[in-house]
Chain A
Amino acid sequence: MSARTKGIAAAQMGRRSDRKRNRLATILFLGPAALILGLLVYSIVYTVGRSLFDAYGGFVGIANYKRVFTEPRMLVAVRNNAIWVAIVPAAVTSLGLIFAVLTERIRWSSAFRMVMFMPLVISGLAAGVTFRFMYAGDPNVGFMNAVVQKAVHIAKPPGLYPGARLSVDDFAIAVDGAFESKSPVAVGQQANFAMAAIRPALVPENATELSVPAPVADGISGVVWLDFLSGGRGTRGQPDPGKQGLPGIRVEAVKDGKVVGAAYTQNDGTYTITGLAPGEYTIRLSEASFRQPFGGYYWLGRDFIIPALIIAYIWINTGFSLMMIGAGLSAINRDLLEAARTEGANEWQVFRHITVPSLMPVVMVVFVRAIISVLKIFDLVLVIAPESVQADATVLALEMWNAAFGGMNDHGLGSALATILFLLILPVMLSNIRRFRLEQ
């Protein structure tokens, strides 16, 4: 063997061991990925398979899928998912774009962006609980209603005796929150009102026991009193001794729809409207004394629950699109912007024709990511929507959870829902991957 052939043999040996080493490296590098991929594929295949069986493991074919598309509740979930996909990705992306462009121009832009990004750091569950409280109906609990209440009370302050009503209905009736004598009262006569549903603790401290005033010649007098006595004593509608007068109520004499005289009740509940021309008048207790405080709007009721959820979602996720688009924005070629401005383009034109097209790739990524995350939406609905409106607010992922783990324990139906969700997300994901490839 010559030295040359020896060398070739050695080189071949070396190549072989190189190849061996390469193969080892390949396995080492791909192994974990393959393992994870294998687990993933296994669970997808298992889920698809499981969806063809019922809760107890009996084969039912496509019955679970039929259920999804026939049960009204599931159809509501499908409809709601459609609403989410139609509104939310567009809203989150465009808000992110607007904020990104605007914050570029302000001095504290990174601080602002950080604040906007913060909600994303909080877990969805915690954010959901916070929103549940913010939306609470009771203005003492819910932030939204506290704000609305403040505003409403400036325009229409609550009355002295909110929620009061007539004790008996023989003399007067309720009209638009006020109380009116059923028939006109002649001058010189009396008009007395027995009221109920006023907690004695809420009656002003200066109130005293009622008294019945004397009739007056040129007017109408009477008494307004609290018709309640502890233990049901006394007769309803009668000015029994011991019952309290109600001070501070505006009493009006009305003729032909016009107020022609008025007086306030005294500490003992009496009032006297004087200076009335002879004739008959309707006597009215002003609505302002009985106006209820603003009781709160039920944001979490049936009608507003989906917008309420969407607002919460947008609040949490706008920060993410802002960050992504902001990063894209800082990579834009500044010369282009400057050139356009020099050519005399206004800011809107620069935004519309330079900024947006240059940002398109990153905007699309943000948009597609939003579609995927919206299709999977689950935690916010579960936490924010009270049980009583979950049937109205439900989405596919929540139905999947309900079916599989939330009481029904039907893993077949749950798997069918999971499969449908997977099929809905798949095309979005594939188009995203294709886009990546094209860009490379």
Chain B
Amino acid sequence: MKLNSRMLTLVLALLVIFAVPVAAASEWPNLAGETVNVIALWSGDEQRSFEAVLARFSELTGAQVVYSPTPDNMATVLGTRVEGGNPPDIAILPNPGLVKQFARRGFLVPIEEVTGDLVDKYYAPVWRELGSVDGELYGVWYKAANKSVVWYNTNIFAEVGLEVPTTWEEMIEAAEMIDFFGITPFSTGGGSSWVLTDWFENIYLRTAGPEMYDKLVEHEISWTDPSVIEAFEYLKQVLGRADWLAGGVEGTLEATHPQGIIKPFLDPPQAAMAYGADFSVSAIQTETSAVVGVDALFFPFPSIKGSPGAVVGGGDAAVMMKDTPGARALIRFLATPEAAEIWAARGGLTSPNQGVDLSVYPNEIAAASAKALQEAEWFRFDLSDLVPQEFGSTAGTGMRGGFQEFVRNPDIEAITSQLEKDAQKAY
């Protein structure tokens, strides 16, 4: 009996040792010899990080993954490849508008049965909605951007003796104090118009709420609606004050986002706060000597009228363009926390995946951004990416031209009626 129990222990031990890898392997099919083609916008550092993620996938499945970065204009590139009969297996699309456009044109394969369970398990419902077209799931949001952050120079805040503002009123009060102290309160890289439209979107989400936000996206309410005017009144408190903007009106309109975001962190600082995004960190790190996390920090875009945690963001969704075993396995893999954690740990990725352990992020800033994204009670995608391109993302016209004009001439009636006119043409 003694011997037997020892044998049993041995057998059990062997079972434990071998069973774990066997079980793990069984989650992913053996795809040795298969090739999966992936296309995305990421190049440089982002490409290296993404390739590390793909390498792990190859390790798990044996499949070979060929990644091709396309520098720009995903719509044209993919449209051409589909027409030429050579779509990639997986594409990473930079906004829900493209997901919708491609799904309706029949370019995409629905992925409900492939990875719907993981999306339900790891993602807030808003991400399922953003990845769905006409009730059918097509996209997995692998990467996200938190565009509800205000960067600030901690040294100036300390010198002025300011607390980090949590409400709009506190932020305006802080701005007044900073101005009195002798520094221009805000810097805005308005030469990149998305910075200006994002200011508005953040305010509108907070003053009007997510339902109204959705209605504005669909143009179910007009741009002259009282809710829009109210948001502009808040916006005017900052963008309407040339003396509160580093470089005044012209300096704001000349500076691109990276040029604007670094102004609080130059020596001497040209501003105290700058509206930006979590990804602004790279501009601050490369262009200034400020230490991110010490000299440069951000606070979440402040609450207005008691609004709960709200995030306006962007993101990249993986979609399946060919129904192959390799494509199925990869898109399922991209929905797992593991796939996100590999890149998150390397820095530069904020994941909307709630299964991702916040401790993997390389610094507090990245973790705070991801936390805000995970915990946001209201999350909405960047409005200018959701409206028709002609209105939302064509330089010099529609929203992009309109908001820059608002900086020159902060006349609420003029901008709202102009936006309404442009919107009517585009919808």
Closest to B183 in A: A199
Total A residues in contact with B, Cβ cutoff 8 Å: 38
Flag if A391 contacts B396 (CB, 8 Å).
yes
B413 at the interface (CB under 8 A from A): no
- For window 159-192 of B, CB contacts with A under 8 Å fall at 159-162, 177, 179-183, 190-192
B30 nearest CB across to chain A (Å): 42
Flag if B250 contacts A137 (CB, 8 Å).
yes
User: How far is A170 from B75 in the complex, measured between Cα atoms in Å?
Assistant: 62
- For window 386-428 of A, CB contacts with B under 8 Å fall at 386-391, 394, 402, 405-410
A2 at the interface (CB under 8 A from B): no
Flag if A387 contacts B179 (CB, 8 Å).
no
- For window 162-201 of A, CB contacts with B under 8 Å fall at 163-164, 167, 196-201
The interface bits of chain B over 74-109 (1 if a CB of A lies within 8 angstroms of the residue's CB, else 0) are: 011000000000000000000000000000000000
B390 at the interface (CB under 8 A from A): yes
A121 nearest CB across to chain B (Å): 25
Flag if A391 contacts B182 (CB, 8 Å).
no
Flag if A388 contacts B190 (CB, 8 Å).
yes
**Which of the candidate stretches A28-36, A86-94, A225-233, A360-368 sits at the interface with the other chain?**
A225-233
A202 at the interface (CB under 8 A from B): yes
Flag if A387 contacts B182 (CB, 8 Å).
no
A73 at the interface (CB under 8 A from B): yes
Flag if A390 contacts B395 (CB, 8 Å).
yes
- B interface bracket (residues with beta carbon within 8 Å of A): 35 or more
Contact of B254 among A231, A232, A388 (CB under 8 A): A388
Flag if A137 contacts B247 (CB, 8 Å).
yes
B307 at the interface (CB under 8 A from A): no
**Which of the candidate stretches B31-39, B129-137, B397-405 sits at the interface with the other chain?**
B397-405
Which residues of chain A come closer than 8 Å to B397, judged between CB atoms? 73, 391
B389 at the interface (CB under 8 A from A): yes
Which residues of chain A come closer than 8 Å to B161, judged between CB atoms? 230-233
- For window 97-123 of A, CB contacts with B under 8 Å fall at none
B354 at the interface (CB under 8 A from A): no
B251 at the interface (CB under 8 A from A): yes
B178 nearest CB across to chain A (Å): 10
Flag if A405 contacts B73 (CB, 8 Å).
yes
Flag if B253 contacts A386 (CB, 8 Å).
yes
Closest to A404 in B: B76
Flag if B253 contacts A389 (CB, 8 Å).
yes
Closest to B403 in A: A388
Say whether, besides A232-B161, A232-B177, A386 and B254 are in contact (CB < 8 Å).
yes
Say whether, besides A232-B161, A402-B394, A197 and B75 are in contact (CB < 8 Å).
no
Which residues of chain B come closer than 8 Å to A202, judged between CB atoms? 182
User: How far is A242 from B191 in the complex, measured between Cα atoms in Å?
Assistant: 42
Which residues of chain A come closer than 8 Å to B400, judged between CB atoms? 387
User: How far is A298 from B181 in the complex, measured between Cα atoms in Å?
Assistant: 27
Which of A163, A198, A230: most chain B Cβ within 10 A? A230
B69 nearest CB across to chain A (Å): 18
Which residues of chain A come closer than 8 Å to B68, judged between CB atoms? none
Flag if B394 contacts A138 (CB, 8 Å).
no
B351 at the interface (CB under 8 A from A): no
Closest to A233 in B: B161
User: How far is A212 from B394 in the complex, measured between Cα atoms in Å?
Assistant: 61
User: How far is A202 from B182 in the complex, measured between Cα atoms in Å?
Assistant: 10
The interface bits of chain B over 378-416 (1 if a CB of A lies within 8 angstroms of the residue's CB, else 0) are: 000000000001100111110011001001000000000
Which residues of chain A come closer than 8 Å to B227, judged between CB atoms? none
Closest to B251 in A: A137
Flag if A197 contacts B180 (CB, 8 Å).
yes
Closest to B266 in A: A140
User: How far is A227 from B151 in the complex, measured between Cα atoms in Å?
Assistant: 27
Flag if B182 contacts A197 (CB, 8 Å).
yes
Flag if B254 contacts A408 (CB, 8 Å).
no
Which residues of chain B come closer than 8 Å to A261, judged between CB atoms? none
Flag if A230 contacts B250 (CB, 8 Å).
no
A244 nearest CB across to chain B (Å): 12
Which residues of chain B come closer than 8 Å to A233, judged between CB atoms? 161
User: How far is A387 from B268 in the complex, measured between Cα atoms in Å?
Assistant: 27
Which of A233, A386, A391, A410: most chain B Cβ within 10 A? A386
User: How far is A163 from B243 in the complex, measured between Cα atoms in Å?
Assistant: 11
User: How far is A102 from B35 in the complex, measured between Cα atoms in Å?
Assistant: 66
Which residues of chain B come closer than 8 Å to A390, judged between CB atoms? 395-396
B369 at the interface (CB under 8 A from A): no
Closest to A403 in B: B394
A273 at the interface (CB under 8 A from B): no
Say whether, besides A231-B161, A387-B400, A136 and B394 are in contact (CB < 8 Å).
no
B256 at the interface (CB under 8 A from A): yes
Which residues of chain B come closer than 8 Å to A402, judged between CB atoms? 394-396
User: How far is A386 from B400 in the complex, measured between Cα atoms in Å?
Assistant: 12
A248 at the interface (CB under 8 A from B): no
Flag if B182 contacts A408 (CB, 8 Å).
no
Flag if B395 contacts A407 (CB, 8 Å).
yes
Flag if B193 contacts A163 (CB, 8 Å).
no
Which residues of chain A come closer than 8 Å to B73, judged between CB atoms? 405
Closest to B400 in A: A387
Flag if A408 contacts B390 (CB, 8 Å).
yes
Flag if B394 contacts A406 (CB, 8 Å).
yes
Flag if A407 contacts B394 (CB, 8 Å).
yes
The interface bits of chain A over 50-74 (1 if a CB of B lies within 8 angstroms of the residue's CB, else 0) are: 0000000000000000000000010
Pick the 10 closest A-B CB pairs, nearest first: A231-B161, A391-B396, A230-B161, A388-B253, A298-B250, A407-B394, A199-B182, A197-B182, A388-B404, A386-B191
A-B contact pairs, 5 of them (CB 8 A): A136-B254, A137-B247, A199-B182, A407-B389, A408-B390
Other than A298-B250, A387-B193, A402-B394, give 19 A-B pairs with Cβ distance below 8 A: A137-B247, A137-B254, A197-B181, A199-B182, A200-B159, A296-B251, A301-B253, A301-B254, A386-B256, A387-B256, A388-B190, A388-B193, A390-B395, A391-B396, A407-B389, A407-B390, A407-B393, A407-B395, A410-B390
